[in-house]
């Protein structure tokens, strides 16, 4: 990767501001229910501390505040508590993210680590407002971006700020660029892509881009039925995007022309209704009135045969409704199978596929699990991400 990273920056004795992704889920008592995003930022924070930075100033957004001032439910206080535990040292949590008071508190702080308040309490953050970016930049000497989850957004703390400070990627962002960037530019072949999830419409650009790069594309999940419909198959009451049938057909044609092995679901786990799991059965032709919620055993074997040939696997989207145990078998089987494969780079796109891999306890067996849902999708679509584009080449 040829972008500047934290290792290329002079941080000794400097105040380093790090944009992290601390957008963690909170329950109604404002307790963090999953701290993986905070944990994921630890290597960069620790590196900066261990390499002589005088202060580490951390910033993030959390949730979706309105953007016209503080809202208690979106304060970063719970994050400060967890950071403190993970770092084993006191973290100074401030109630704002810009201004003279913030500057004075940073200057007077005993603590090495300071956490600013939610960036999105200011609407200027999402607008990439230059004055706001400048105010953030004025708090530090050096900027490190470690927030892959927001890399697809040109926000002030990700894009604008790089205009004013020497900037580089943190380790988390670097890893995302290395793995996802590797898939887009020069994947080790064969590249097998497995796609699922709810909607075709979300993934048209992705399929188009991946047809140019992959050797095989396996399609399961809710998006499969629109493709099957384009082939004249019965889909019963399964998820269907009627206005996307034509384009699904075109994508299949394009794949064929490009010599990409596109594998669709051939057998299905169907039910009479979503809330009637007791009616489930395996069919190869979906009966009228029935709904398919998972791939069947024959499809699982077909998918596995192709996966076995891969040197690189990209997985984006569950192949069934894995959140419900009765409909989870396909996704579980595929996840566990990928985990057994040797000599393969396995990359899991963020969001639901990452949740599935975690649910089935095979996280450690994957080469890379992306921390960004939308960002990883856009990266794999071949789009330039503003948060990465903003960083200078070495
Ligand atoms: P996405 O956010 O597009 O990755 O979609 C993920 C969602 O797709 C998950 O919540 C799954 O429950 C859902 N899904 C997967 N397979 C199916 C299916 N056969 N029918 C309906 N929804 C599905």
Q: Catalytic one among 182, 249, 374, 382?
A: 374
Looking at residue 372, its pLDDT comes to: 84
Q: Going by CA atoms, what residue is nearest to atom 2 of ligand 1? A: 197
pLDDT in tens, 123-152: 999 999 999 999 999 999 999 999 999 999
Q: What does the pLDDT look like over 213-249, one tens digit per residue?
A: 999 999 999 999 999 999 999 999 999 999 999 999 9
Distance CA 121, CA 343 (A): 46
Q: What angle do CA 98, 102, 108 make, to 5 degrees?
A: 155
pLDDT in tens, 250-287: 999 999 999 999 999 999 999 999 999 999 999 999 99
- CA distances (Å), 17 to each of 22, 56, 137, 173, in order? 14, 6, 8, 15
Min mean pLDDT across 32-36, 43-47, 169-173, 318-322 is at: 32-36
For 62-73, give one letter per residue: b (16+ CB within 10 A) or e: beebebeeeeee
Instruction: Report how far ligand 1's centroid is from the alpha carbon of 320 (Å).
Output: 6
What are the sequence ranges of the domains in the chain? 6-172, 180-380
pLDDT value at 351 more than 80: no
333: CA distance to ligand 1 center in Å? 16
Catalytic annotation present for 75:
no
**CATH 3.40.50.1260 for domain 180-380:** yes
Nearest to 266 by CA among 283, 247, 289, 249: 283
pTM exceeding 0.85 = yes
Nearest ligand 1 atom, CA 199: 3
Give 28-76 pLDDT, tens digit per residue.
999 999 998 999 999 999 999 999 999 999 999 999 999 999 999 999 9
Q: Both ends of the chain: CA-CA distance in Å?
A: 9
pLDDT (0 to 100) of residue 371: 84
Q: Is 37 a catalytic residue?
A: yes
142-145 and 15-19 strand pairing: parallel
Is residue 373 part of the annotated active site? The answer reads: no
Q: Which residues of 253-268 are buried (b: 16+ CB within 10 A; e: fewer)?
A: eebeeeebebbbbebb
**Of 37, 75, 244, 302, catalytic:** 37
Tens of pLDDT, residue by residue over 359-394, are 999 999 999 999 888 899 999 998 999 999 999 999
Give the list of residues 6+ apart from residue 268 with CB closer than 8 angstroms, or none: 238, 282, 283, 284, 286, 292, 294, 295, 296, 299
Closest CA to 49 of 40, 62, 58: 58
Atom of ligand 1 nearest to the CA of 324: 12
Pocket probe for ligand 1: among 201, 299, 317, the residue whose CB has the most ligand atoms within 8 Å is: 317
Q: Measuring from each residue's beta carbon to the nearest atom of ligand 1, which residues come in under 6 Å?
A: 196-199, 202, 221-222, 239, 292-293, 317-318, 320-321, 323, 351-352
CATH 3.40.50.1260 fits 6-172, yes or no: yes
Identified catalytic residue from 199, 304, 311, 383: 199
Q: Give buried/exposed letters for 345-365 (b at 16+ CB in 10 A, else e).
A: bbbbbbbbbbbbbbbbebeee
pLDDT at 213: 93
Residue nearest atom 17 of ligand 1, based on CA coordinates: 222
Per the listing, tokens 């993986």 go with 36
6-172 matches 180-380 in fold? yes
- The residue whose CB lies within 8 Å of the most ligand 1 atoms, and thus the one to mutate among 195, 196, 270, 377, is 196
């Amino acid at each position: 990767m040829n972008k500047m990273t934290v290792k290329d920056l002079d941080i000794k004795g400097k105040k380093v501001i790090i944009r992290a992704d601390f957008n963690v889920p909170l329950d109604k008592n404002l307790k963090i229910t999953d701290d993986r995003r905070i944990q994921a930022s630890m290597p960069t924070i620790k590196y900066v501390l261990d390499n002589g930075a005088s202060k580490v100033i951390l910033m993030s957004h959390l949730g979706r505040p309105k953007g016209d001032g503080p809202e208690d439910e979106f304060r970063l206080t719970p994050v400060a508590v967890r950071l403190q535990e993970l770092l084993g040292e006191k973290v100074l949590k401030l109630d704002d993210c810009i201004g003279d008071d913030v500057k004075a508190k940073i200057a007077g702080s005993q603590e090495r680590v300071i956490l600013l308040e939610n960036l999105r309490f200011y609407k200027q953050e999402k607008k990439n407002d230059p004055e706001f970016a400048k105010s953030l930049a004025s708090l530090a000497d050096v900027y490190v971006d470690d927030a892959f989850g927001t890399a697809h957004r040109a926000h002030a703390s990700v894009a604008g700020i790089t205009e004013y400070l020497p900037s580089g990627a943190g380790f988390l962002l670097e890893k995302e660029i290395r793995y996802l960037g590797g898939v887009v530019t020069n994947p080790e072949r064969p590249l097998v892509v497995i796609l699922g999830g709810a909607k075709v419409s979300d993934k048209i650009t992705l399929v188009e881009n991946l047809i140019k790069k992959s050797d095989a594309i396996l399609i399961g999940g809710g998006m499969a039925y629109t493709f099957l419909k384009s082939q004249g198959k019965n889909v019963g009451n399964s998820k269907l995007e009627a206005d996307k049938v034509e384009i699904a057909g075109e994508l299949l044609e394009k794949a064929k022309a490009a010599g990409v092995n596109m594998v669709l679901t051939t057998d299905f786990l169907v039910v009479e209704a979503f809330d009637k799991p007791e009616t489930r059965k395996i069919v190869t032709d979906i009966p009228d009135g029935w709904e398919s919620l998972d791939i069947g055993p024959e499809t699982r074997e077909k998918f596995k045969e192709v996966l076995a040939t891969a040197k690189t696997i990209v997985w984006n989207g569950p192949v069934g409704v894995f959140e419900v145990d009765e409909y989870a078998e396909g996704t579980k089987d595929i996840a566990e199978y990928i985990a057994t494969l040797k000599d393969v780079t396995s990359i899991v796109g963020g969001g639901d596929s990452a949740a599935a891999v975690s649910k089935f306890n095979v996280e450690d067996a994957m080469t890379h699990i992306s921390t960004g849902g939308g960002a990883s999708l856009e990266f794999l679509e071949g789009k330039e991400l503003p948060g990465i584009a903003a960083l200078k080449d070495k």
